[in-house]
Amino acid sequence: MADRYLSFAGTAPGRFLTHRLGLPQPAELRRDALDGGLLHLTAGRTDLDLAPVLGRTGLGPDDDGRPAAVVLDATGVRDVDALTEVHAALHPVVRSVAVSGRVVVLGAPLDPDDHHQAAVQQALEGFTRSLGKEIGRGRTVNLVRLADAAAAESTLRFLLSPASAYVSGQVIEVGPATDPPAAVPDDPEHPLAGRTALVTGAARGIGAAVAGTLAGQGARVVVLDVPQAEREARGLAERLGGTSLALDITAADAGERIAAAVPGGLDVLIHNAGVTRDRRLVNMPAEHWSSVLDVNLASVLRTTDALLAAGAVNRGGRIVATASIAGLAGNAGQTNYGASKAGIVGMVRSLAPRALREHGVTVNAVAPGFIETKMTAAVPLFIREAGRRMNSLAQGGLPADVAETTAWLAHPASGSVNGQVVRVCGQSLLGA
């Protein structure tokens, strides 16, 4: 369903009226190309060699004082006095960042042996989240904690691109470079070429967008959905040049059947299948509780365990599960759904280090907020409008936003991104 308020607010009368009434003034997000160059700033003394990495983002240097993106290297900030350099660097330029532009602050891992450094590096999180809420005009602000510039290349390329249009106010931790280092794809436009990806719940909605994005990046996609959606799944798979698999993901042998369907193993496993059965707890039948927990959480745990145990996820593989801001912040009428999605977060945080150590596989999650789908189009008007406006970008996201974030986590060069839960919510005010 079209966002008519967004369209109206973009007109001259709309801008005037929304300003006079103090209403949200969303800017249409740029999802094709960013308009302008890159401005690289520093605060504190830094040892990072960012020039080679930033040179491969596709953004040239800012030449006209209207940067499309600003990167502030604050990894060298170690005391409160150095925090003044953060203000000094960004204060003069924030207003000049282009509409739908990017601000990325780089921080260092917190030093457990230096509480002053840990304090000011944690301060960067509060700074970044606050700036994201006030910068406006469709701009995003994110914090990346890193120790190695090369290890963060895929993350910086994502955050400095149109693909991250609906990702803001996030703190992403990038670990050390993988050993051996991740191979650079031969074709940057098709980094998943030669890789096999399976997406559950892929016949429609966000799952279909994820499957399409992965296929567009070169992956051979297996479109998995319940037997009732077999026709849709098969049609999508044919359009993408992949295959379909009709399977109830809650089946006890789902993992074994997936492994049998991909004899060469999986390189990318996307857990997207999910259901809602919304009611307040006092009115919720037991079957509504159990069905949501079974589909959204238990099936993810069972199939992941089975596929890892069978060696069906290849070394260098990626597992990306779908959480939700309802699992992070809670939502009235969704105790079952919130529990299931919070469970995904717990799984990711616990499994990620072990899966990387034992299987060479990363485990991450995306947590969508209000995304424009057929499901949200059916939500009552006032609730739908509240969902759209209650974020720093004052609009709903698109399935493509979740798909692009998933594709970044699935990228062969994203091996240093592990155990992360990334909200795709426009910096929703829920749980912020």
Residues annotated as catalytic (active site), given as ranges: 337
**Secondary structure of the chain as H, E, C letters:** CCCHHHHHHCCHHHHHHHHHHCCCCCCCCCCCCCCCCEEEEEEECCCCCCHHHHHCCCCCECCCCCCCEEEEEEEECCCHHHHHHHHHHHCCCHHHCCCCCEEEEEECCCCCCCHHHHHHHHHHHHHHHHHHHHCCCCCEEEEEECCCCHHHHHHHHHHCCHHHCCCCCCEEECCCCCCCCCCCCCCCCCCCCCCEEEEECCCCHHHHHHHHHHHHCCCEEEEEECHHHHHHHHHHHHHHCCEEEECCCCCCCHHHHHHHHCCCCEEEEEECCCCCCCCCHHHCCHHHHHHHHHHHHHHHHHHHHHHHHCCCEEEEEEEEEECCHHHHHCCCCCHHHHHHHHHHHHHHHHHHHHHHHHHCCEEEEEEECCECCHHHHCCCHHHHHHHHHCECCCCCECHHHHHHHHHHHHCCCCCCCCCCEEEECCCECCCC
